[in-house]
Amino acid sequence: MLYRLLADVIMAIHFVYVVIVVGGLAAILLGLWRGWSWVRNFWFRTIHLLMIGIVAVQAILGIPCPFTVWEYQLRVAAGDEGRPGTFVSRLVHAMLFFELPPWVFTLGYILFGAAVFLAFVLAPPRRPWKTGK
C-alpha cells in the first residue's frame, strides 16, 4: 500500500513538472502578448528554462526520466507489474505516456527546449540586480 501511494505521489509530481514546463511556455507567450509583467520574472523564467533543459539533455544522453524510473520501481515493489493501479494514476499515466519511438520524444524535447530558449532570448526576463524601470 505504501509503495503504491509513493508511486502515485511520484506520478503526481511528474505531472506537475510537465504542466509547469508546457503551461509555463504557454503562459509566457500569452503574457508577452498581453503585457503581463510577471512573465518577465527572472527566477520564473530561469527555473522554467532549466526544467526543460534538464529534460532535453537527459533525452539527448539517453538517460531515462528519474520520475518514470522511480514510479516503475515503486509499482513493481507494490506488486503492480509497473503499471498504475488507481483510477487517477491510470488517468495521469495515460496523459503522460504515449507509445511512440524514443527518438520522437527526444526531438520533441529538443524542439520544445529550443522554443523556451528562443522566448528567453527574444523576450528576456528582467534581471533582479539591475535597477531602474
1, 32 Cβ separation under 8 angstroms: no
- Check whether 90 has a pLDDT greater than 90: no
| pTM for the predicted model, two decimal places | 0.84
Tens of pLDDT along 102-115? 888 899 999 999 99
* Residue at 74: amino acid letter: L
Per residue, the 3-state secondary structure of 36-87, as one string, reads: CHHHHEHHHHHHHHHHHHHHHHHHHHCCCCHHHHHHHHHHHHCCCCCCCCCH
State the pLDDT at residue 88. 58
Q: What is the C-alpha separation between 75 and 81, in angstroms, rounded?
A: 6
3 state SS of 31: helix
User: Higher-confidence residue: 76 or 130?
Assistant: 76
What proportions of the chain, in percent to the nearest 5, are helix, strand and coil?
75, 0, 25
- Check whether 87 has a pLDDT greater than 60: no
Read off the C-alpha cell for 91. Answer: 488517468
State the pLDDT at residue 96. 72
Tens of pLDDT along 52-74? 999 999 999 999 899 989 988 99
Tens of pLDDT along 1-34? 899 899 889 989 999 999 999 999 999 999 999 9
